[in-house]
Structure 1
Amino acid sequence: MTKEELKQIIPHREPMLLLDEASLTGENLAEGKYTVRGDEWFLQGHFPGNPVVPGVIQCEMMAQTCCVLFAEDVKGHTPLFGGLDKVRFKGQVKPGDTIVFRCSTVKHRGPFYFAQGEGFVNDTLVVKAELSFAVT
């Protein structure tokens, strides 16, 4: 999915649409990608002379990737974070890096979705988490 196609399933818009592309890569598996240009608003001041993508932004990118998994249920609704658990940061994401997220649904109960995701730069794990959502 391109950014324009992503806009059909999630309500995010620039500057909070934080994926360049996303796709379903198998049953119950989604992949999202973002290449850090270096001029993003979230890098201003984080950190001068040594820009690093904030962990909370990485979690948002992962969450947007997860929404691709339940795209049909999300269309026309607002997916809201319910929680983040077992978040671990294993490396830095810097300008010029492409971070690739691989996410899967763990379970679904009514309007609640539970997922897990990992983010990689050059096949090196940099972030992982368990996520939950409520689709309103």
Structure 2
Amino acid sequence: MNREEIKGLLPHREPMLLLDDAEVVGDEAVGHVTVTGDEFFVRGHFPGDPVVPGVILCEMLAQNCCVLLGEAMSGEGRVPLYTSLDKVRFRHPVRPGDTVELRCRITREHGAFHFAHGEALVGDMPCCSADMSFALVPAAGVADGGR
């Protein structure tokens, strides 16, 4: 799915909508983000030596995970909220000009809670990995993007 199709799934909007594209391949969501250097999160982190902040890499992973939760979110009018991040590892910096490939899979579900594992890579270089969980909660007007 392209960026406009992702907007139909996620409640995020610019500048916090980070995914450029995503698709479900088997039991994985595979997404991409090309970092241009114009993003708000690299302009000040760090001037002269820009690096994508780790928390933004985690957000990229979370948004990619939500591609796998799309049916549960739209069918029930729910939005995903992070409930945990665990075993987060940063292995290599992501810089302007890099295209990040995100690979995420749901590892288990329990009621409204969904548990996932994700990895971010640039080429063959692992950059970030994390175990995450999300709760699907009633949208309460959030999912319509303020429309």
> Residue 37 of structure 2 aligns with which residue?
38
The answer to whether residue 50 in structure 2 is matched with residue 51 in structure 1 is: yes
**Cα distance in 1, alignment partners of residues 33 and 41 from structure 2:** 14
The answer to whether residue 118 in structure 2 is matched with residue 106 in structure 1 is: no
* Aligned structure 1 segments of 4 or more residues deviating by more than 4 angstroms: none
Q: Which runs of 5+ in 2 are unaligned?
A: 138-147
Q: CA RMSD in A?
A: 0.7
> Residue 12 of structure 1 aligns with which residue?
12
> Residue 83 of structure 2 aligns with which residue?
82
Letter in 2 for 1:23: E
Q: Percent identity between the aligned chains?
A: 55
> Residue 91 of structure 1 aligns with which residue?
92
| Cα deviation, residue 135, structure 1 | 0.4
Deviations 1:10-67 (A, max 9, x none): 10001000000000011x2110100000110011210010000000000000000000
TM-score w.r.t. the length of structure 2 is 0.90
Letter in 2 for 1:63: A
How many residues matched?
135
Q: Which runs of 5+ in 1 are unaligned?
A: none
Deviations 1:76-100 (A, max 9, x none): 3210000100000000000000000
| Cα deviation, residue 112, structure 1 | 0.5
Letter in 2 for 1:62: L
What SS class does the counterpart of residue 78 from structure 2 fall into? coil
TM-score w.r.t. the length of structure 1 is 0.97
**Cα distance in 2, alignment partners of residues 38 and 112 from structure 1:** 35
**Cα distance in 2, alignment partners of residues 10 and 107 from structure 1:** 21
